Chain A
């Protein structure tokens, strides 16, 4: 393994990622002045959250969908994200060990 190559990868990816982060914030500020762009910007968080979360849930399978529904219900009732997440993880763990369904 070449150490310099690894360091070069870290350097270039770090610069690129920083550039992407900064340009998003910088350009959003500029684009804001154009009409109707704010509608698009407002929709980003929900769209991104769904696109990040839904594939992971489907990847786990039926038990993933069941666990996420349980998690949503607990979150709705108790408003405690830590508890809701723990229960969902526990349900998936039980299923993987053959103790459920």
Chain B
């Protein structure tokens, strides 16, 4: 079991670099749209689909048009219908409850790696990928707070320095 977790984590490591990068970008966009860290974390856990999260965050303006935002996000997520359809072979002998539980963990990145490996222990694999990606996204969202506060500090020091010269 632990070996499977290790294997899943290792296989997803190259992909996590890109997740970290776009996680930071998403975090930076969220600061300008006044989306709180909690809302972003909820999005990461329950929607768990990168590109549609970008669309949601991008489209949130004042006033919000709920139906258009939800419709666009779901249109982008239509691909998951085909993605999970292609995973049918892995889930052949599983109960409906198991399918219902694990299907949430399927994402573009973990699917691409999983379909390549054709592992029989896909459940452990997807779970590990889920935790790896969630961890990565939330870490990158925290890092935007650190980066933006550092920039804030720098600007503050710079302005004060300029003032003291004047």
Report which A residues bind B (CB closer than 8 A). Answer: 1-3, 5-14, 16-18, 20-29, 31-32, 41, 44-45, 48-49, 52, 81-82, 85
Report yes or no: A13 in contact with B74, Cβ–Cβ below 8 A: yes
**Most chain A beta-carbon neighbours within 10 Å: one of B17, B82, B100:** B82
Report yes or no: B88 in contact with A13, Cβ–Cβ below 8 A: no
Tell me, rounded to whole Å, the shortest Cβ–Cβ distance linking B126 to chain A. Answer: 11
- Check: B91 CB closer than 8 A to any chain A CB: yes
A residues near B70, Cβ cutoff 8 Å: 9, 12-13, 16
Partner of B47, one of A5, A6, A10, A49: A10
Give the distance in Å from the alpha carbon of A5 to the alpha carbon of B17 in the complex. Answer: 32
Given the contacts A16-B74, A28-B84, A21 and B104 also touching, CB distance less than 8 Å: yes
Q: B51: nearest residue on chain A (CB-CB)? A: A52
Contact size class for B? 35 or more
Partner of B100, one of A9, A20, A22, A27: A22
The 4 closest A-B pairs by CB, nearest first: A24-B84, A28-B85, A14-B46, A24-B81
Given the contacts A7-B39, A10-B43, A49-B112, A17 and B86 also touching, CB distance less than 8 Å: no
Majority secondary structure, A binding face: helix
Report yes or no: B103 in contact with A25, Cβ–Cβ below 8 A: yes
Partner of A14, one of B35, B47, B66: B47
* Complex interface bits, B104-124 against A, C-beta within 8 A gives 1, otherwise 0: 101010001001000000000
Report yes or no: A21 in contact with B39, Cβ–Cβ below 8 A: no
- Check: B83 CB closer than 8 A to any chain A CB: yes
Report yes or no: A13 in contact with B81, Cβ–Cβ below 8 A: no
- Check: B33 CB closer than 8 A to any chain A CB: yes
Report yes or no: A17 in contact with B81, Cβ–Cβ below 8 A: no
Q: B78: nearest residue on chain A (CB-CB)? A: A20
A residues near B60, Cβ cutoff 8 Å: 1, 6, 9
Report yes or no: A17 in contact with B80, Cβ–Cβ below 8 A: yes
A-B contacts, 22 of them at CB < 8 A, read: A1-B62, A1-B64, A5-B66, A6-B64, A9-B60, A9-B64, A9-B69, A10-B47, A13-B74, A17-B48, A17-B73, A24-B81, A25-B84, A25-B87, A25-B91, A26-B96, A28-B84, A32-B88, A44-B82, A81-B14, A82-B13, A85-B17
